[in-house]
Structure 1
Amino acid sequence: MTGEAIYTLAVLGIAVVLFASDRIRLDVVALLVLLALFLGGVITLEEALAGFSDPVVLMIAALFVVGEALATTGIAFSLGDWLMRVGGASQTRLLALLMATVAGIGAFMSSTGIVAIFIPIVLRICRKTGFSRSRLMMPLAFGALISGMMTLIATPPNLVVNAELRRAGLEPFGFFDFTPIGVAVLVVGIAFMLAVGMRLLPQDAGSGQRRAKGRSLAELAAPYGLADRVYRLRIASGSALVGQTLGALKLRTLFGVNVVGLERQGRFGREITPALPHTRFRDGDIIYMVATREPAVHFIEKQSLEPLPIDDSLRRDVWQELGIAEVLIAPDSKLIGRTLEQAAFRSRYHVSVLGIQRKGKPIAGSLVSEPLQFGDVLLVSGAWKDIGALQADRSEFLVLNLPEEVKDVAPARRRAPLAIAIMVAMIVAMTFDLVPNVVAVMVAALAMVAVRTVSMDDAYRVINWPSLILIAGMLPLATALGNTGATALIADGLVGSIGGFGPYAMMAGLFVITAVVGLFVSNTATAVLIAPIAIAAALDMGVSPHAFAMTVAVAASAAFMTPVSTPVNTLVVAPGNYRFVDFAKVGVPMTILVAVVALILLPLLFPL
Structure 2
Amino acid sequence: MHINPATWSQIVFGLILIGGLYLFISEKLRVDVTAMLILGALVITGLLDGQQALSGFSSEPAIIVAAVFVISGSLGTTGISERIGRWIEHASGNSESRTIAVVMPLVSLLAAFTHHVMVTAMMLPLLLRHARSRHLPASRLLMPMSLAASLGTTLTLFSAPAFLLANDMLQRSGNEGLGIFSVTPIGIALVVIGTGYMLLTRWLLPKRSGQQNDDTYLRLDRYRTELVVVKDGHWCTRPFSELEKALGQRFRLLAWLRDGKHRDDLRSNSPLLAGDVLLVEAAADELLSLHDDTGLDLNAIARFGGLASSEDGHTQLVQAVVAPGSEFIGRSIRELDFARRFHTVIAGLWRRDEQMAERLSDARLQEGDLLVLWGNPSRFSELATHHGFLLLVPFAGEAKRRLRAPLALIILGATILAAVTEFLPPQLAFLFGALAMVVTRCIDVEQAYRSIDTRIFVMIAGVIPLGIAMEQTGTAALLAGGLAHLIAHWPPLAILLVVFSLAALLTQVMSDAATTALLGPISIAMAQALGLPPAPFVVCTALGAVVAFLTPIGHHGNLLILGPGQYRFSDFMRIGLPLTALIALVSAWLARWLWMHGPLLPFG
CA–CA distance in structure 2, aligned partners of residues 483 and 527 of structure 1: 14
**Structure 1 CA distance for aligned equivalents of residues 166 and 50 of structure 2:** 31
The answer for the alignment partner of 1:473 in structure 2 is 462
Instruction: State the partner residue of 2:426.
Output: 437
Instruction: Tell me whether 1:413 sits opposite 2:398 in the alignment.
Output: no
Aligned to 1:559: 545
- Is 1:595–2:603 an aligned residue pair? no
Asked whether the 8 Å contact 1:71–1:120 carries over to 2, the reply is: no
Q: 2:389, 2:496 → 1: CA distance? A: 64
Residues 20-61 of structure 1: per-residue CA shift (max 9 Å, x gap): 334443333323322332333322233333333333223322
Distance 1:41 1:600, change over 3 A: closer
Residue 392 of structure 2 is aligned to residue 389 of structure 1:
no
Q: Structure 1 residues 117, 79: CA separation in 2 closer, same or farther (over 3 Å shift)? A: same
- 1:4 partnered with 2:5: no
**Matching residue's letter, 1:101:** L
- Whether 1:28 and 2:33 are equivalent positions in the alignment is yes
Equivalent residue for 2:212, pick from 209, 212, 237 = 209
Report what 1:56 is aligned to.
Answer: 61
Contact 2:165 2:516 in 1 (8 A): yes
Does the CA contact (< 8 Å) of 1:482 and 1:488 recur in 2?
A: yes
Question: Structure 1 residues 327 and 31 mapped into 2: Cα distance closer, same or farther (>3 Å)?
Answer: closer
430 and 468 in structure 1: CA distance in 2 versus 1, 3 angstrom threshold: same
Report the residue type matching 2:119 in the other structure: F
- Residue of structure 1 in register with 2:191 after alignment: 186
Q: Distance in 1 between matches of 2:210 and 2:445?
A: 34
CA deviation profile, 1:524-568 (whole Å, cap 9, x unmatched): 8966774686488467xxxxx7xx8546534433323789xxxxx
Structure 1 residues 337 and 56: CA distance shift in structure 2, 3 A: closer
1:426 aligns with 2:400: no
Cα deviation per residue 1:190-243 (whole Å; 9 max; x = unaligned)?
A: 456678899899x9xx9432425168489877xxxx9xxx9xxxxxxxxxxxxx
- Structure 2 residue 120 is matched with structure 1 residue 146: no
Q: How does 1:342-491 map to 2 (within 5 A)?
A: 377=365, 389=374, 394=380, 411-491=400-480
Matching residue of 2:123: 122
Taking the aligned partners of 1:188 and 1:362, their CA distance within structure 2 comes to 51
Contact persistence 1:63–1:441 (CA under 8 A): yes
**Residue type matched to 2:66 in 1?**
A
Alignment of 1:74-113 (within 5 A): 74-87=79-92, 97-104=102-109, 113=114
Change (3 A) 1:492 1:587: farther
What do you get for the CA RMSD once the two structures are aligned? Answer: 6.3
Aligned to 2:311: none
CA contact (8 A) 1:145 1:559 kept: no
Question: How has the CA–CA distance of structure 1 residues 376 and 141 changed in structure 2, closer, same or farther, with 3 Å as cutoff?
Answer: closer
Which deviations, in whole Å up to 9, do the C-alpha atoms of 1:49-85 show, x marking residues without a partner? 3333333223322322222222221111101112222
What is the DSSP-based 3-state SS (H/G/I as helix, E as strand, rest coil) of the residue aligned with 1:289?
strand
Q: Is the 8 A contact 1:263 1:270 kept in 2?
A: no
Could you say what secondary structure the match of 1:604 adopts?
A: coil
TM-score, normalised with respect to structure 2 = 0.60
Paired residues of 2:56 and 2:461 also in contact (CA < 8 A): yes
Aligned residues: 505
Can you list the C-alpha shifts for 1:440-466, whole angstroms capped at 9, x where unaligned?
A: 222222222222232222222332222
State the distance in 2 between where 1:196 and 1:46 align.
51
Give the Cα separation in 2 of the matches to 1:76 and 1:47.
Answer: 38
- Code of the aligned partner of 2:544: A
Residue matched to 1:238: none
Q: Which one of 585, 589, 600 corresponds to residue 605 of structure 1? A: 600
Deviation per CA, 1:5-32, whole angstroms, max 9, x where unpaired? Answer: 2322333233333333344433333233
Instruction: Indicate the SS of the match to 1:500.
Output: coil
Question: Does the CA-based 8 Å contact 1:328-1:400 persist in structure 2?
Answer: yes
Q: Give the counterpart letter for 1:434 in structure 2.
A: F
**Partner amino acid for 1:122?**
M
Question: In the alignment, which residue of structure 2 is the partner of 1:383?
Answer: none
Any gaps of 5 or more consecutive residues in structure 2?
1-5, 132-137, 248-252, 271-278, 291-297, 300-318, 564-568
Q: Which residue of the partner structure matches residue 42 of structure 1?
A: 47
Residue 52 of structure 2: SS of its match in structure 1?
helix
Deviations, residues 340-369 of structure 1 (Å, cap 9, x unaligned): 99x99xxx97979999xxxx99789x999x
CA distance in 1, matches of 2:518, 2:87: 37
The CA distance in 2 between the partners of 1:22 and 1:177, in whole Å, is 33
The C-alpha deviation readout for 1:73-116, integer Å capped at 9, x for no partner, is 11111011122223457788666655423544666x6xxx4437
Question: What residue identity is the alignment partner of 1:125?
Answer: L
In 1, are the aligned partners of 2:523 and 2:541 still within 8 Å (CA)? no
Per-residue deviation at 1:494? Answer: 2.2
Partner SS state of residue 74, structure 2: helix
> Helix, strand or coil for the counterpart of 2:238?
strand
Structure 1 residues 452 and 574: CA distance shift in structure 2, 3 A: farther
Q: Secondary structure of the equivalent of 2:488?
A: helix
Does the 8 Å CA contact 2:152/2:191 hold for their aligned counterparts?
no
Query: 1:62–1:442: 8 Å Cα contact kept in structure 2?
Result: yes
CA distance in 1, matches of 2:524, 2:210: 43
Gaps of 5+ in 1: 231-244, 249-260, 274-285, 379-385, 540-544, 564-568
Give the Cα–Cα distance (whole angstroms) in 2 for the partners of residues 476 and 185 of structure 1: 31
Mapped partners of 1:377, 1:508: distance in 2: 65
- Structure 2 CA distance for partners of 1:589 and 1:53, relative to 1, 3 Å: farther
* CA deviations over 1:370-399 (Å, ceiling 9, x no partner): 9xxxx9549xxxxxxx96636967589999
Q: Tell me the residue number matched to 2:482.
A: 493
- Partner residue in 2 for 1:253: none
Matches of 1:65 and 1:35, distance apart in 2: 29
Corresponding letter in the other structure for 1:81: R
TM-score by length of structure 1 reads: 0.60
CA displacement at 1:590 relative to structure 2: 5.2
Residue aligned with 2:54, SS? helix
Q: 2:8 and 2:167 mapped to 1: Cα distance?
A: 34
Amino acid in the other structure paired with 1:264: R
Using the alignment, how far apart are the partners of 1:140 and 1:59 within structure 2? 22
How far apart are residue 478 of structure 1 and its match?
1.2
Partner SS state of residue 43, structure 1: coil
The CA distance in 2 between the partners of 1:71 and 1:418, in whole Å, is: 13
* 1:144 CA displacement: 3.0
- Report Cα offsets for 1:277-298 as digits up to 9, x if no partner: xxxxxxxxx995269xxx85xx
Distance change >3 Å, CA 340–CA 179, structure 1 → 2: closer
Indicate conservation of the 8 Å contact 1:146/1:558, yes or no. Answer: no
Contact 1:161 1:553 in 2 (8 A): no
3-state SS of 1:30 partner: helix
| CA distance in 2: counterparts of 1:119 and 1:354, whole angstroms | 27
Report the identity percentage. Answer: 25
Residues 173-205 of structure 1 show CA distances to partners (whole Å, capped at 9, x for unaligned) of 99988665443333333456678899899x9xx
CA–CA distance in 2 between the matches of 1:387 and 1:449? 28
Q: Distance in 2 between matches of 1:439 and 1:89?
A: 45
